[in-house]
């Protein structure tokens, strides 16, 4: 059923792509990084029942309908006569040039935090980040955005252990620690985006960045939880249909290029990380002001297979083709395919219901049965979000449920699993879990208040040789059972995560703010009678628009 709908949708996309693109956005084509907590401030336009905007493909393009609300958020601190220093602190970029045919800006982006974990290790935590960003727009055609961050940090114990064991700072690339001082993490992070609006119908973007598909906090199709990757993206719009085709180049440190060791030092040979390729397509149709439906497909393939090295497969380069038949023409294909559905319905003027369904493999007799077969791989999301709750202006909320069956994002060759730089491309928990998320956001003047609560259950492997389906970096050819698989199997884990933040906005142009936060995390393993707690208070001077997913 999904395949038939996808084929028909992509036939429509084929027609649309001949002459489609992004709306004419003028000078507002400048890049705006995706941040859930910033984007939700535009809910009253994005999810109003009187608007007909595409909301699921992020980062968003600031079009004429969204521009007034966006500009009001960027002018939040504007007031009367101010000195040069006050303007730079409160409502301007550090360096700002505006000419008739081009604009330029640049900013220093600090993120300085200090905190204390009272419930867990009792350690003092801190973050020392020095960053910068710059942006250029030329007329209404071309824009460039770059940022760079140099970071050191002492994280709470659970994050520190992850960075030490995986050598990855979640969502931010390679993280270095040392045996002499394993508490301190050191890493760099950067993004670069070049966007060209060919005409009022077509936009081309080349980026080292992240992408997100969905209307919720999480995405089971494609999320921004992993690190940046290189992507070439075509985005089109014709009437009420939006279409995206994207090709990606991603790193894979879990499978290095070389497994040889230096005979003298005994250290691994410097062969570097391996790489992998991906192709993604998404068609979004706003049926009317209230209902929209989106069709998704993706394919991932590794840079190596049984025969050795493998490069980019140009069979997937056609931006309007249905990729499943192409994948099947490759006899004994080593590639990983996914199909997905994203839907949204504006039930009330200020309340929207949304959901996703992802299919990792489809065998009809197993999918429609209750035998728990290992090939029954799917994930589902259901949620609702709203704004101006209970008549309170700028009170936004979200409630969301996510669940994914075991082995869903895994592949028989782990090189081609659904991941980028050692982290899942979809939900950060991988697979074999159920989760409930609730988020409240409220803005009053320059003050922002937020609260997030997450509860979840997931199944883990008792040892490295077992495979209950939660670890997507293991081959699905080694399951514990062929039948009777269920969500949460293996060693049962429970997670409770609560995070509250109060911030005072200094400069909306680059989200400079003073922020105080409190976090509580409780990770339990009931059958072992053990649990680990983190209870933190933090205070900091922060800036930039970035999502960090530390709720795992």
pLDDT band at 23 (very low <50, low <70, confident <90, very high): very low
pLDDT band at 259 (very low <50, low <70, confident <90, very high): low
pLDDT tens-digit map of 196-253: 988 878 889 999 999 999 999 999 999 999 999 999 999 998 889 999 999 999 998 8
Length of the chain: 552
Stretch among 10-14, 169-173, 289-293, 359-363 having the lowest mean pLDDT: 10-14
Q: What are the residues facing 454 on neighbouring strands?
A: 437, 497
pLDDT tens-digit map of 399-430: 999 999 999 999 988 889 999 999 999 999 99
| pTM, rounded to two decimals | 0.90
Find where tokens 């053990």 sit. Answer: 530
3-state secondary structure 228-296: CEEEEEEEEEECCEEEEEEEEEEEEEEEECCCCECCCCCCECCCCEEEEEEEEEEEEEECCCCEEEEEE
Q: Do the beta carbons of residue 416 and residue 422 sit within 8 Å?
A: no
Indicate the average pLDDT of the chain: 88
């Amino acid at each position: 059923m999904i395949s038939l709908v996808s084929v028909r949708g992509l036939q429509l996309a084929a027609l649309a792509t001949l002459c489609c693109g992004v709306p004419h956005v003028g000078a507002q084509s400048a890049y705006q990084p995706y941040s859930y907590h910033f984007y939700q401030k535009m809910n009253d336009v994005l999810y109003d029942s009187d608007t007909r905007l595409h909301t699921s493909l992020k980062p968003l393009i600031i079009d004429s309908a969204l521009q007034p609300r966006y500009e009001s958020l960027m002018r939040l601190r504007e007031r009367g006569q101010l000195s040069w220093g006050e303007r730079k602190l409160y409502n301007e970029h550090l360096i700002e040039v505006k000419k008739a045919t081009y604009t330029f800006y640049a900013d220093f982006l600090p993120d300085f935090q200090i905190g204390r974990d009272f419930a867990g290790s009792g350690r003092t935590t801190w973050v020392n980040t020095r960053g910068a960003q710059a942006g250029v727009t030329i007329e209404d055609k071309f824009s460039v955005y770059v940022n760079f961050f140099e970071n050191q940090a002492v994280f709470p114990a659970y994050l520190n252990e992850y960075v030490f064991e995986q050598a990855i700072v979640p969502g931010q690339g390679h993280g270095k620690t040392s045996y002499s001082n394993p508490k301190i993490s050191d890493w760099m992070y950067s993004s670069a985006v070049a966007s060209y609006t060919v005409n009022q119908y077509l936009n081309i973007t080349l980026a080292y960045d992240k992408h997100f598909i969905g209307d919720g906090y999480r995405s089971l199709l494609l999320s921004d939880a992993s690190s940046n990757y290189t992507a070439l993206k075509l985005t089109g719009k014709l009437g009420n249909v939006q279409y995206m085709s994207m090709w990606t180049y991603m790193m894979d440190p879990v499978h290095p290029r070389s497994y040889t060791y230096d005979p003298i030092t005994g250290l691994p040979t410097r062969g570097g990380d391996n790489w992998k390729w991906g192709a993604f397509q998404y068609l979004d149709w706003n049926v009317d002001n209230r209902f929209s439906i989106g069709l998704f497909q993706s394919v991932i393939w590794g840079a190596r297979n049984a025969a050795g090295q493998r490069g980019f497969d140009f069979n997937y380069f056609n931006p309007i083709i249905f990729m499943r038949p192409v994948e099947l023409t490759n006899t004994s294909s080593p590639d990983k395919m996914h199909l997905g559905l994203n839907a949204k319905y504006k039930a009330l003027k200020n309340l929207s219901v949304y959901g996703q369904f992802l299919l990792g493999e489809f065998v009809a007799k197993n999918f429609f049965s209750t035998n728990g077969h290992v090939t029954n791989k799917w994930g589902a999301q259901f949620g609702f979000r709203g704004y101006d709750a209970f008549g309170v202006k700028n009170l936004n909320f979200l409630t969301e449920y996510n669940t994914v069956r075991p082995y869903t994002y895994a592949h028989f060759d782990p090189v081609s699993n659904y991941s980028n730089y050692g982290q899942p491309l979809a939900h950060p928990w991988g697979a074999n879990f159920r989760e409930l998320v609730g988020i409240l956001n409220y803005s009053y003047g320059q003050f922002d208040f937020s609260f997030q609560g997450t509860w979840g259950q997931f199944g883990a492997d008792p040892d490295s040789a077992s495979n209950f389906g939660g670890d997507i970096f293991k081959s699905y050819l080694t399951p514990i059972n062929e039948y009777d698989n269920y969500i949460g199997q293996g060693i049962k884990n429970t997670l409770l995560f609560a995070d509250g933040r109060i911030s005072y906005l200094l400069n909306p142009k680059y989200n400079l703010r003073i922020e105080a936060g409190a976090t509580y995390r409780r990770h339990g393993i009931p059958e072992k009678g053990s649990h680990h707690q983190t209870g933190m208070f933090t205070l900091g001077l922060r800036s930039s628009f970035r999502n960090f997913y530390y709720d795992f």
